[in-house]
Amino acid sequence: MPDIGFVWSELGGDPALLARVSTVVRPGALPARLPVRELARACVGACALAAAELGAHRAGRVGVPRVTVDDGAVATAFTGERHLLVDGRAPQTFAPLSRFWRTADGWVRTHANYPHHRARLLHALDVPEDPAAVGSALRDRPALEVEAAVYGAGGLAVALRTPAEWAAHDQAAALATRPLVERVRLDTSRARALPPLDGTPLLPAAGLRVLDLTRVLAGPVATRTLALLGADVLRLDAPHLPELPDQHADTGFGKRSATLDLAAGRDRFEELLAAADVVVTGYRPGALDRFGLSPEALAERRPGLVVAQVSAWGAYGPWGGRRGFDSLVQVATGIAAVEGSAERPGALPAQALDHGTGYLLAAAVLRALTEQAYGDAAGGGRLVRLALARTAAWLQDGSRLPEDGAAADGAGADGAGADGAEVGTVPYDDPARWLAETDSPVGRLRYARPAVSFADGPHDWARPPGPWGVDAARW
C-alpha cells in the first residue's frame, strides 16, 4: 500500500519529521481498485513536508511547520485538468484519436493530442484522419504489431498487457532494479548559501531560479509546484513545438513562458544556465543530450546545479528512449487491465501517474536543495530522476484489491495514520471548495487550488498563467 513513510525514505528524509504530517481522510475521493488515493496522498504529503523542511531551515526555525494533507484538495488537484474552465469553456483533454481501439487479438491505446504525433500515427497506419478509418485499420492487426509499427514511425501506441505480461517484459525487469526516486551526486562543488527567509507566507524556494524544459504533465506539475513555493520558473519550449493552449493554462500558474531554439540560441541558453539553480527536463531520455543537456554536461558547466529528470519508461532498458504518456503507461503496465472489465480496458480516476510523479519530482528537488545547503554531506550538484512506469510499479506493489472486486475506498484511519499522523475522516462529495477563479491574460479561469499545504505556507500561486511563449528568455 503506497504510504508517505516509504516515499519519505526514498527521498532521504528524516523519519522523525513524519510526525509533522496530518491527514484528512475523505472516503470517495479517487475511487479505484488500485490504491490511487493513498498514492496521491503520499506524493503530495511528501512534497509538502519537503517544502516545510527547507522553509524551516531557511527561516532559522527550530521546528518544521505542520503539514496538512486533505484528500479532497489532493483529489481535486489530481483531476485539475477536468475542472479547468477558460472563459466558461471546458477544454478537451483527449483528442478524438487518443483512445482505446480493438485489434485482432486485444486492445491498443493511442495518443495523438499533438499534431506531429497524430500525423505519425496516421502515416504508420496509412489512413486519413478519420476515426472510422483508424478503427478499420486496427481491427485486423495484432496489438503488438500495431505497437511496433506506430512506434517505428515515431508515433504513440501501446498494446494492452496484464500485470503478469508486463512483469515478464524486459522493461519491467529494468525498472525493478531501480528505486522509486533515483538520487545521484554529480560533483563536489561547495555548498550554496541560500539567503534566509522571513515573514509569511513562508516560501521555501524563494530566490531560486528554475529552468523548466518539460511538457505534459508530470514535469509541468513539478515546476508549477516549485513556482507556488516561490521559485522563479522560466519554461522554455522549442519555437516549432507549440503547447496545447488549455494544457498550458492548467500547468502554467506561477511561471513565465519563453521559446528558444537550443541550437541557434545556445549562447542565450548558457547565460540562463549560468544563473540557474535547478534544471527540470521532461523529454524522453537522451533527446536533449545532443544540445549538451545531459545531467553530467550541465553540472560540468554549472557546478552545484540540481538536475531533475522525469520520463515515461525510465532512462534505461529496451524502452528507455521511448516516448510515452500516463495513459499509455497505464495500458502497458497492466493498470488498464486491472481497472477494466472483460469487455473493455479501464483507467485510473485521474492521470495519477503524471500528477503523483510530478509532486515526487518537486519533492526530490526540494530535498536535494536541503541536502546541498544543510545536510551532513553539503555541497555538490545533484541529479534526481523519476519515471511514470516506476511510479506505476509502486502503485501496484502490495496493492489491496477487494475480494468482491468493488472499488477500493482507502485504508481509513489506520492507513492514513500509519506514520503517527493525526487523522480526521470526512466524506468527499463536492470539489467546489478546492476550486478558485481568477482573471488572466488567457481569459477568466476556474482552476484547482494547490494541494500542497503547510503552516504559514502559500495558499495560491502569485501569478496566473499567460499565453505560451510570450515572455523573454531571460531571468
Q: CA-CA distance, 47 to 362, in Å (whole number)? A: 7
Sign of CA dihedral 280, 283, 285, 288: negative
Q: CA-CA distance, 273 to 424, in Å (whole number)? A: 45
> What does R_g of the chain's alpha carbons equal in angstroms?
21
Q: What is the pLDDT of residue 407?
A: 38
Contact 435, 76 (CB under 8 A): yes
Q: What is the pLDDT of residue 474?
A: 97
Phi, psi values for residue 236, rounded to 5°? -115, 130
Contact 34, 338 (CB under 8 A): yes
- Torsion on CA atoms 354, 30, 95, 355, rounded to nearest 10: -10
Q: What is the pLDDT of residue 40?
A: 98
Whether the bond between 217 and the residue before it is cis, its omega within 30 degrees of 0, is yes
Name the pTM for this structure.
0.94
The low-confidence residues of the chain, meaning pLDDT below 50, are 400-420, 422
Q: What is the DSSP string of 104-154?
A: SSSEEEE---SHHHHHHHHHHHT--S-HHHHHHHHHTS-HHHHHHHHHHTT
Q: What is the pLDDT of residue 344?
A: 96
CA neighbours closer than 13 Å in the CB half-sphere of residue 45: 32
Q: What is the pLDDT of residue 373?
A: 95
Residues forming beta bridges with residue 167, ordered by sequence position: none
List C-alpha distances in Å: 303 to 203, 206, 269, 275, 276.
24, 20, 16, 11, 11
Q: What is the pLDDT of residue 416?
A: 41
List C-alpha distances in Å: 432 to 116, 312, 435, 439, 447.
36, 32, 5, 18, 10
What are the tens digits of pLDDT across the range 210-269?
A: 999 999 899 999 999 999 999 999 999 999 988 889 999 999 999 999 999 999 999 999
